[in-house]
Amino acid sequence: MVEEELARQSEAAFPPVSEITAYLLGGGGKRMRPALLLLSASYAGHKDRSAIRLAAVVELLHSATLIHDDVIDSADTRRGRPSANSKWGNHRSVLTGDWLYMQSFQMALEERNFRILDILIDLTQKMVEGELIQLAKIGRIDVSEDDALRLATYKTACLFSGCARLGGVLGGLEGEEEQALADYGKYAGLAFQLVDDLLDFTASAEQLGKPVLSDLKEGKVTLPLIYAIENGHRDAREMVARVLAEKEFNSVRPETIVSLVHESGALGRARALAQDYACRAKACLNGRQDSEYSRALATLPDFILEREN
């Protein structure tokens, strides 16, 4: 039903936007964020059209951020296909992203609920702030663990948290119960981002849908690299600095960086942190296993961790 709502919004869009939106929505994707909102709403005891509409809203918001991310990063591929900016150019892609943001809020307005708008505005602002934080760190090797986790919180976990909170609000949860669901989403989102960072070093280009180590080529130093440098691997800092300076794998091969990160123990350290966040997410459910929805939410962090396999 969410797919039907997304298709309806795409078909009703202004034609230049509709073409790109249909392309993006047809490119796969796990629909993790709509699923989280729907599960959270059902967990909170809410089941009606509002949850489906808001699930479509968060997926359109997510799509808007992906379009803008690809323009900022000059990315050529997304989920194994040409990115929107490589097919239609930066101008049309940016305007499509802007249109999707506005359409998302137009749909949310139909709920006539200021609390929902507050949550959506807050998470959207934080995602934009995350992009600005990332831009300030591009090409720099002095990125700390705290920097990386703050970035993961703003760019990824805020949307996960907002999806879970929105589900709780639809179900009438307030106070500590609403906050517990929001915290569940935040920790699940942090685990999701850490697994994404791990996949850059453990998956093939075909599995990733983009070139291996594309983050580093774009000037982004992620947590596994930070850990490899911290763990004192003698060549790590010098090699990473060289790639950042060249903005290309000229004097250093991607396989060399991957081997270096594997040997340093950084992957195990990042994996352990992802597992810790998954456990924290489950703890936010306070042991409630009294419905199929609470059981599904308890299983979701394990599914996130298993993406690496």
Contact 307, 207 (CB under 8 A): no
Q: What is the pLDDT of residues 58-89, one digit of tens each?
A: 999 999 999 999 999 999 999 889 999 999 99
Quote the CA–CA distance of 29 and 23 in Å, as a whole number: 12
- Which pair of structure tokens corresponds to residue 250? 């000229």
* SS3 call for 203: coil
Contact 159, 58 (CB under 8 A): yes
pLDDT of 121 reads: 97
Q: Please report, rounded to a whole number, the percentage of residues in the chain having pLDDT higher than 90.
A: 84
For residues 92-105, average pLDDT? 96
Phi, psi angles (nearest 5°) of residue 190: -65, -40
pLDDT of 288 reads: 67
- Which pair of structure tokens corresponds to residue 259? 């081997």
pLDDT of 79 reads: 85
Is residue 201 scored above 70 in pLDDT? yes
Mean pLDDT of the chain: 93
pLDDT of 289 reads: 65
- Which pair of structure tokens corresponds to residue 92? 């049309």
Q: What is the pLDDT of residues 30-66, one digit of tens each?
A: 899 999 999 999 999 998 899 999 999 999 999 999 9
Instruction: Give the chain's domains with CATH numbers.
Output: 2-306 (1.10.600.10)
Q: What is the pLDDT of residues 154-182, one digit of tens each?
A: 999 999 999 999 999 999 999 999 999 99
Q: What is the dihedral of CA 108, 293, 150, 270, to 10 degrees?
A: -150
What are the start-end ranges of the H helices in the chain?
2-12, 15-25, 32-43, 49-73, 84-88, 90-109, 114-137, 145-152, 158-170, 175-202, 205-208, 214-217, 223-230, 236-246, 254-264, 266-283, 292-306
Helix 266-283 vs helix 292-306: crossing angle, to nearest 10: 170
pLDDT of 27 reads: 82
Size (the chain), residues: 309
Q: What are all long-range contacts of 130-138, with beta carbons under 8 Å and residues at least 24 apart?
A: 130/154, 130/155, 130/156, 130/158, 131/68, 131/69, 131/72, 131/155, 134/220, 135/72, 137/220, 137/221, 138/218, 138/219, 138/220
Q: What is the pLDDT of residues 221-235, one digit of tens each?
A: 999 999 999 987 778
> What residues contact residue 255 under an 8 Å CB cut-off, 6+ apart?
none
Quote the CA–CA distance of 71 and 128 in Å, as a whole number: 14
pLDDT of 98 reads: 96
For residues 118-134, average pLDDT? 97
Q: Radius of gyration over alpha carbons of the chain, in Å?
A: 20
Quote the CA–CA distance of 104 and 124 in Å, as a whole number: 11
For the ranges 101-115, 137-151, 162-176, 194-208, the lowest mean pLDDT is seen at 194-208
- Which pair of structure tokens corresponds to residue 20? 């790109």
Q: What is the pLDDT of residues 245-294, one digit of tens each?
A: 999 999 999 999 999 999 999 999 999 999 999 999 999 998 666 789 99
Helix 292-306 vs helix 175-202: crossing angle, to nearest 10: 30
pLDDT of 40 reads: 97
Is residue 237 scored above 70 in pLDDT? yes
For the ranges 3-17, 94-108, 185-199, 258-272, the lowest mean pLDDT is seen at 3-17
The kind and range of the H/E element at 77 are strand 77-78
